[in-house]
Structure 1
């Protein structure tokens, strides 16, 4: 089977599996325990915290380990808003194409008394800095804008966004789950107050992630009387999983430049191959400001669900969008936001490349999509 769904999740790399096994065997203590075994686990945990901080140019005091990207998003925003100690009338800004964990959280926050502006995007999936500035009011306290879209890969102008929000004294959270380990992230130069990352997107274990909140900003825990992770979240810390996550982090950052170049070449092969046999296929998203390993496309007249099932029948695993939205009847909100009608939005599919993707996989995928397109 050819796997082209790396944006949904990745297989664990052997080095991460090995570290998980060794850490489980040798660092099994609870890092909150005061005996030597607990101290040994805590020392490893703190070294892992430092590694995450260095990878994003942050302060290790602001790194908190979680169960993944969704929890990191939710707890970061909730904790920052708790630090503001205000609700009714407070204004928040996000985009219309955020990951479901953030989009659904903001819908819940509206029910709790917050006012929310959902920024539109253009047909490339970019927000307008003018729209962002016009949305800001004297009551705006926080904005959450992702680094890159998980369905079409469009990268937002994160540094310009951070500069604008900082000028107005607005907290800035960014979902960096898809970009971490794929492109450089510098929370200092981007003036990001908090961000989220996830292990299973970079060949580490599932159920592990991290949240960064700058020590310069105030936050209060969403969970009262919590002691783990400096009061950020409850539950015994998963030291073996975190150690495995750090191994994946170190390796993917070492390989990042080479991976980016290779994914760009494979993407160009795929796009060129598809353009030669069908004008019905449209590549979605930005052509330059994009994560090269994510290719969103629409096939005119064919629902994405059918294309996905036919690809699966031919031994190729793709998706119809974000894994967190699969199974819903509604079309992709990203496709609708970039101007597609509901029927056209349902024609969307996503191919995402990874370390095991080869040129032969790309050639086979082109052939299969040609068969599907020509026979429908």
Structure 2
């Protein structure tokens, strides 16, 4: 089986796995314990926090460890709402946000918040003028995914941060798909908060983090917790934090190399689809606004789930969208944001590339997709 679903999750890096085992067996103390074993664990945790803060270019005082991106999005949004820059109950969000963001927005609407969802243009990008026109005096939060997890479009976070700052609006961004794929050091300090995840960068599952600008005096959603300055309850998973930090150091060190590689692989895959290009729609932005390793497309007349199962039968693992909502059997959120019709939305598939992907594999996948399409189109 050849894996092309790296946007859903990545295999654990071997070096990160070694770090995990070493820390789990030698630095197993609870970071809140006052004895030396606990202090050693706390010292290691703070070293990891400082290293990740340096990678992001942020103040380590605002960095908190969570169980992953979904929890991070939830807790970050709740923290910002507990410390608004002005009064109001209006939120602006991207229509294609991750399901964890839509989940908290749905609950907030029940608590009296109003939510305006912003669609994408044909290139998969947010229209800044539309955001500006949606801002009201009572708008207190904007939340926008940095890189869309289903088509890989890169949103203009720097410009959005300026808009939010000028209007005294908190700005949260989901960095789960961008961290480790593109340099976020210049934009991370500009937002009110951001989330990231370990298992998207060849680290362990069940670990991630949130940055909240330390100038904001937020209130914990779960009161009474002593870990992570009260940001979340539960003993900190120090082995996973250390392994995620090791994975982050490794992937950040090869950013340019990976970007060049994925651009070549993307071009090779798209080139392989040329025999059936009349039936293929690829949703992408211009090169400077496109993450090369995520390819979102649809094939006219063929349901994405059927294409995924056929590819699986032939030895390729691809996806029909975000793994966090596939189980709900609903179309990928991005298809709604792009304005696709219901039948078109069902045709969406996602191919995502990773460190082990090769030119030979992507060409083979492209040729397999072509053969599936040609066989399907010949059916009466």
TM-score strictly above 0.5: yes
Match of 1:358?
Answer: 358
Match of 2:176?
Answer: 177
Match of 1:35?
Answer: 35
Match of 2:94?
Answer: 95
Deviations 1:216-252 (A, max 9, x none): 2221110111111001000000000100000000000
Match of 1:197?
Answer: 196
Q: Is 2:303 the counterpart of 1:303?
A: yes
SS of residue paired to 1:278: helix
Match of 1:264?
Answer: 263
Deviations 1:42-96 (A, max 9, x none): 0000011011111111000000000000000000111111223998x51111111
- Aligned counterparts of 2:363 and 2:240: Cα–Cα separation in 1: 36
Q: Is 2:158 the counterpart of 1:159?
A: yes
SS of residue paired to 2:57: coil
Match of 1:228?
Answer: 227
State the 1:137 CA deviation. Answer: 1.3
Query: Mean alpha-carbon deviation: is it higher for 216-225 or for 180-189?
Result: 180-189
Paired residues, what number? 375
- 1:135-150 to structure 2, matched below 5 A, reads 135-150=134-149
Unaligned ranges ≥5, structure 1: none
Unaligned ranges ≥5, structure 2: none
Match of 2:372?
Answer: 372
- Aligned counterparts of 1:9 and 1:251: Cα–Cα separation in 2: 17
State the 1:166 CA deviation. Answer: 0.6
Contact conserved, 1:162 with 1:190, CA < 8 A, in 2?
no
Match of 2:209?
Answer: 210
Contact conserved, 1:282 with 1:297, CA < 8 A, in 2?
yes
SS of residue paired to 1:269: helix
Match of 1:84?
Answer: 84
State the 1:190 CA deviation. Answer: 6.0
Deviations 1:236-292 (A, max 9, x none): 000001000000000000011100110011001111111244311111121421110
Q: TM-score, normalised by structure 2?
A: 0.96
SS of residue paired to 1:93: strand
Per the alignment, do residues 284 and 85 of structure 1 end up closer, same or farther by CA in structure 2, a change over 3 Å counting? closer
Per the alignment, do residues 278 and 130 of structure 1 end up closer, same or farther by CA in structure 2, a change over 3 Å counting? closer
- Aligned counterparts of 1:113 and 1:2: Cα–Cα separation in 2: 47
State the 1:153 CA deviation. Answer: 0.4
SS of residue paired to 1:28: coil
Deviations 1:190-223 (A, max 9, x none): 6111000000000000000000001122211101
Match of 1:68?
Answer: 68
Q: Is 2:97 the counterpart of 1:132?
A: no
SS of residue paired to 2:209: strand
State the 1:307 CA deviation. Answer: 0.3
Match of 2:281?
Answer: 282
Match of 1:323?
Answer: 323
